[in-house]
Homo-oligomer: A and B are copies of this chain.
Amino acid sequence: MEEQFASVRIAETPLKVFIDQLLRNAGSAPDAAAAVARAVVDASRRGIDTHGVRLAPHYLRCLYAHRLNPAPKLVVTRSAPAVAHVDADNGFGHFASYRAIDEGMAMAAETGIAAVTVGNSSHHGATGGYALVAAKQGFAAIGMTIADAAVAPFGGIRAFNGTNPIAFAVPVAGAEPMVLDMATSSIPLNRVHLRRAAGTELPPDVALDTEGMVTRDPNRFGALLPLGGSEYGYKGAGLAAMVDILCSAFSGMPHGNALTPFSDPTVPGPDLRGHFFIVMQPALFQSLAVFDARLSAFLADLRAQPAQPGKRVMAPGDPELAAAAERRANGIPVDLTTWGALQEFAARQNLPCPAEA
């Protein structure tokens, strides 16, 4: 939401139907297409444009380039009462991740906490969306995904870690769930591309040039710095390492720096990505009444904190809740580059485009 872009507005449901049909016409099995359309429209509705509809053309290119298995058969294996693995069969990560969260809820309803790893997967969009599915059904969830090298390790000069996000969602009595969804770099890689296109500088202390020196020139970009920048980046890099290990060693997949780049759809797969989810049932930890009261008290206290002039203290996910309300009412903005690409795919498929909202 931090970069403005020229866009058209499309209502949520027709947009989801459109993307679903584009994916199926490009060869995707209906179940996988539905998962991808659901995930990208959900992310865009919540204002997470970097991981929303913007990615649909890329996913379509991956299908046309046969980089992915268009009709994956998910295999779910329980290896312990509270642990399962989803083999994504080299299909879209979204499809496998929704399945993983379902399996996690089924286990956590009995055991209180459960972990689900996903292997042989691909990009899954916004990680928080899967945690949110659990939170909407009364579970808390943590989600993580591996990504290919984009972020320098602390003290390093070359991309090694992915932007390796951590998501956390928790149900709130009488309100929407609270969702944290954050990359472990200061800025997303996408922002570098946007600044380069716009001819504007990068913020200070968020990126290195190709020689490994801190830079603000997007044209000299070599790698992102981890959250914490050049002084405290050992913390962001440490979190990225935790995410990498949970998504790779625990799922049996290679680590981030060994993955094929996601950005080029013509690079042959398999992507071999891993994801990692933890699902918890708060009612099996203690009285749900106490849980609800404690959590609501925390959120109320947080949101009531005094703020800097012109600012407001928000809970994680509050900006996304505001975006969702606005976009439900006015339609989902699709930037013109993405919209042009989707229109081209639609023309190729003789598929009519949805009207603007």
Contacts and interface: CB of A to CB of B under 8 A. Distances in A.
A313 B161 CA distance: 12
Interface in A158-214: 158, 160, 166, 168, 170, 178, 180, 182, 186-187, 203, 212
Interface in A319-348: none
A100 interface: no
Interface stretch (A18-26, A30-38, A55-63, A301-309): A301-309
Given A81-B81, A186-B231, A278-B278, A306 B111 contact: no
A308 B157 contact: yes
A298 interface: yes
A113 B83 contact: yes
Given A286-B79, A314-B154, A301 B241 contact: no
A39 interface: no
A170 B301 CA distance: 35
Contact of A81 (B110, B117, B157, B187): B110
Chain A interface, DSSP helix/strand/loop, else mixed: mixed
Number of copies: 2
A80 interface: yes
A250 B286 contact: yes
Nearest to A83: B112
23 contacts: A79-B112, A79-B285, A80-B112, A82-B111, A82-B113, A83-B284, A85-B286, A117-B286, A154-B314, A155-B311, A155-B312, A155-B313, A156-B305, A157-B307, A160-B301, A170-B249, A187-B232, A237-B316, A241-B298, A241-B316, A249-B291, A252-B286, A278-B278
Contacts of A111: 80-83, 111
A285 B115 contact: yes
Given A113-B114, A170-B249, 6 more contacts: A82-B82, A82-B112, A157-B306, A160-B302, A160-B305, A203-B231
Nearest to A182: B235
Contact of A242 (B154, B168, B251, B254): B168
Interface in A41-93: 79-83, 85
Contacts of A113: 80, 82-83, 113-115, 278
Interface of A: 79-83, 85, 110-115, 117, 140, 153-158, 160, 166, 168, 170, 178, 180, 182, 186-187, 203, 212, 227-229, 231-232, 234-239, 241-242, 244-245, 248-255, 257-258, 278, 280-282, 284-287, 290-291, 294-295, 297-298, 301-302, 305-308, 311-316
A267 to B, nearest CB: 20
A242 B167 CA distance: 10
A315 B156 CA distance: 11
Contacts of A295: 245, 249
